[in-house]
Amino acid sequence: MNPAMNSALNSGMAPVATPWFFYALAGLAVASGVAVITRRNAVHSALALIVTLLSVAGLYLMLYAPFVAGVQIIVYAGGIMVLFLFVIMLVNIERSSKDRQFNRMWPVGLAAACALLALFTSVIVKGKALFPDRMIPLAEGSNTQEIAKALYGDAGRMGEYTFAFEIASLLLLVAILGAVIMTKKKI
Amino acid sequence: MVPITTLHYLVVAAALFVLGMIGVLTRRNVVIVLMSIELILNAVNLNLVAFSRMWGNLHGQLFAIFIVVDAAAEAAVGLGILIAFFRNKETINVDEIDLLKW
């Protein structure tokens, strides 16, 4: 075992989570993120977004969050992206893929995004000392149970997030009604 | 090789967020604008889960799950509006969606 591996173990990382995995997943996520915003064909963008979502799910696994990783794959890559692909096939992509892809104000948008990137960079560089090197390990085996306790409550008592969970169900109900009414023939 | 810390995840999330913002501000295709919003939400989720790991509690992960719920609701309503708009105007170009512009 090399010294880098040893220090990785000492800083609370599991042996499977080698830095190479992180760099591969992060590079894949960013590269396909670039593909999402540059492709001419919207279907290619959607497929690139699926790759991004899956690599972010891999990063969640490296962060000891298996339940969030599963939700990411099932809800995002499985549900939301299918919705996107259906809508892309319903609307006419031949015509929109032929004309100009970027709007006339794109230099302004790019400048604003670069300003935001500069802000993020300065925050990360200046605030480096605030983030501890050592991460506190989470119990991976009971992750789903702990999330369920916070969401649904434990032993008859309401959990910390039970009320927020109910509000989220209301939000989903409103979203269903909105989607159904929006797609009716006569509004 | 340096061990992976919270900072590494923050850098990845910042890159994804900026990519999503470029997509929202510059693309003309509404579907791709909505996909860029999903990129932004994913960047935020990655930050939340990384901080959850940093502090050793589950609040960040719970918040990430709520944001996924929110993203699903947003995608459903946004794509519904998009279909209604396409039926009326036969276009999905952001520049031509200007009925509310004064």
Kindly report the backbone phi and psi dihedral angles of residue A142, in degrees, each rounded to the nearest multiple of 5, phi listed first: -105, 15
Give pTM, 2 decimals.
0.87
Tracing tokens 């919207």 back to the chain, one arrives at A42
**A112 vs B contacts (CB less than 8 Å):** 21, 25
Q: In angstroms, rounded to a whole number, what is the distance separating the alpha carbons of residues A68 and A72?
A: 6
Nearest CA in chain B to A2: B1
Nearest chain B Cα distance for residue A4, angstroms: 6
**Model pLDDT, residue A187:** 63
How many Cβ pairs within 8 Å bridge chains A and B? Answer: 254
Mean pLDDT of A34-40: 91
Domain extents for chain A? 1-98, 139-187
Interface TM-score (ipTM) > 0.90 = yes
Contact between chains at A179 and B79 (C-beta distance less than 8 A): yes
**Model pLDDT, residue B65:** 94
**Model pLDDT, residue A100:** 77
Mean pLDDT of A156-165: 86
Mean pLDDT, chain B, as a whole number? 89
**Model pLDDT, residue B12:** 93
pLDDT band at residue A2 using 50, 70 and 90 as cut-offs:
very low
Are the CB atoms for B97 and B30 separated by under 8 Å?
yes
The string of pLDDT tens digits covering residues B9-33 is 999 999 999 999 999 999 888 899 9
Query: Class of A1-98 per CATH?
Result: mainly alpha
Of the ranges A44-48, A103-107, A108-112, B61-65, which one carries the lowest mean pLDDT score? A103-107
**A27 vs B contacts (CB less than 8 Å):** none
pLDDT band at residue A10 using 50, 70 and 90 as cut-offs:
very low
Among partner residues A34, A102, A171, which is closest to B73 by beta-carbon distance?
Answer: A171
Among partner residues A19, A87, A90, which is closest to B4 by beta-carbon distance?
Answer: A19
Architecture category of domain B28-95 in CATH: Orthogonal Bundle (1.10)
- Count Cα atoms within 13 angstroms, Cβ side, for A130: 7
A143 Cβ contact list (under 8 Å, min separation 6): A64, A65, A66, A67, B58, B61
**Model pLDDT, residue B1:** 67
B89 Cβ contact list (under 8 Å, min separation 6): B96, B97
Q: Give me the torsion for CA of B59, B64, B66, B67, rounded to 10°.
A: 140
Best A7, A91, A146 residue to mutate vs chain B (most B CBs within 10 Å) = A91
Q: Which residue has the higher pLDDT, A175 or A132?
A: A175
Among partner residues A19, A68, A88, which is closest to B31 by beta-carbon distance?
Answer: A88
Percent of chain B with pLDDT over 90: 56
Domain extents for chain B? 28-95
Tracing tokens 């105007």 back to the chain, one arrives at B89
**Model pLDDT, residue B4:** 79
The string of pLDDT tens digits covering residues A57-92 is 999 998 888 999 999 999 999 999 999 999 988 886
Contact between chains at A171 and B70 (C-beta distance less than 8 A): yes
Mean pLDDT of B54-81: 91
